[in-house]
Amino acid sequence: MRKLFVTMALVFFSFCLFPVQGEAQTKAIVLKAFTNWPMTNNNVDGFKRFIQLVNERSQGELEIKLMGGPELISVKESVGALGRGMMDMRHSNNVHFAMSQAADIISSTDAAVKLWLDPEFVRLINNYYMAKANIVVIGNAGNTAQFYLATNKKIVTKLEDVKGLRIRTHGGLSNVVTSALGAAPATIPTAEVYTALERGVVDGAMRPLPSLIDYNESEVLHNIVTPNMFQANAMIELNQDSWKKLPAHLQKLLKDTAAENLLWAESYYRDLEKKSWEDLAKRGVKFNTLGKNELTRWRKMLDQPERDWFLKETGPEGKALLNIVDKYAK
């Protein structure tokens, strides 16, 4: 009887101890993520899908937790916060370094997707971020936003109409484009755009169409020039130390899922762009599509200043990126 009791006790303690050890061995690696956009903004939709796919496919080995947006870490502070390891992953608006804005110069989303699926293109940007900010760039997040020149009262039909206007921008390439067109750029946070337009602080803004709906800016931006002036390509980034701690198969899972999600997101945001156009038209917003000759004038005004700015900011590394851009832009 005593022997039976000892055996049962050993079985009981083994049952209690070994599952705990097993749980420790299979416990998921948790990556804390944040985004440069408000959590409810449509720009985060593609990133949320990426997170869902990774969490499902890692089969319990990896879990990405989306912690918050700019209310958690401001856009201005987000690069430093990620580099220092305050968070593990960032959904980035790519404006902090000119190097990551190479694909923004071309106006075609199709070309941008091809660029971000080119391993050499991503490698060059990634090397720059690793050296400058202790950040690994996984790839494009998919929410490639088309930026249009939108004005409050002034109807723009030709290049001369832009001269002297004060236009809201978000820095970087948007400032270059605005200045090249003859307008004065005014860098204003997104949350303050509506008020600035309402009070006449600025005459217009470089904005994506969905933003005019999300932030009710169609109430103060009544005229839009098409086609788009430039685009912005968001990124998925990891703190470099967090990246190095991941086993190779999970690193591959993140990269592969980002590339797959990019193709899904291209279609998703293209449809959103179309719906936004239709919605804005119903709200009374007027679209002015530049004629072929006029559009050629605008493009000539923009091409060289964009390239000069990019090369000045990036140097020889940027030149290699532009060579890849030119290959896909043709």
pLDDT per residue as tens digits for the range 161-172? 999 999 999 888
Q: pTM for the full model?
A: 0.85
Give the span between the Cα atoms of 229 and 148, in whole angstroms.
6
Q: Which residues on neighbouring strands pair with residue 298, listed in sequence order?
A: none
Token pair recorded at residue 146: 């088309």
Give the span between the Cα atoms of 167 and 154, in whole angstroms.
12
Predicted confidence (pLDDT) per residue in 239-252, tens digit = 999 999 999 999 99
Predicted confidence (pLDDT) per residue in 308-327, tens digit = 999 999 988 899 999 999 98
pLDDT of residue 27: 85
Give the span between the Cα atoms of 43 and 211, in whole angstroms.
10
What's the pLDDT band for 299 if we cut at 50, 70, 90?
Answer: very high
Residue 227: strand, helix, or coil: strand
Short-list 121, 96, 28, CA closest to 321: 121
What's the pLDDT band for 2 if we cut at 50, 70, 90?
Answer: low
Residue 169: strand, helix, or coil: strand
SS3 of 28-59: CEEEEEEECCCCCCHHHHHHHHHHHHHHHHCC
pLDDT of residue 229: 92
Stronger pLDDT, 12 or 83, i.e. the higher one: 83
Short-list 191, 177, 157, 144, CA closest to 167: 177
Q: Which residues on neighbouring strands pair with residue 30, listed in sequence order?
A: 63
Token pair recorded at residue 238: 């990891």
Range list of β-strands (E), the chain:
29-35, 62-68, 89-92, 135-140, 145-151, 166-169, 184-187, 204-207, 223-232, 235-239, 286-289
6 pLDDT more than 80: no
Domains and CATH numbers, the chain: 22-143+233-271 (3.40.190.170), 145-231+276-329 (3.40.190.170)
Short-list 287, 316, 306, CA closest to 148: 287
Contact predicate 70/170, CB 8 Å: no
Residue 98: strand, helix, or coil: helix
What is the residue-averaged pLDDT of the chain? 90
Task: Output 311-317 pairs: Cβ under 8 A, ≥24 positions apart.
Answer: 313/98, 313/99, 314/98, 314/99, 314/128, 317/99, 317/124, 317/127, 317/128
Predicted confidence (pLDDT) per residue in 212-225, tens digit = 998 899 999 999 99
Give the span between the Cα atoms of 141 and 50, in whole angstroms.
8
Predicted confidence (pLDDT) per residue in 20-31, tens digit = 444 445 689 999
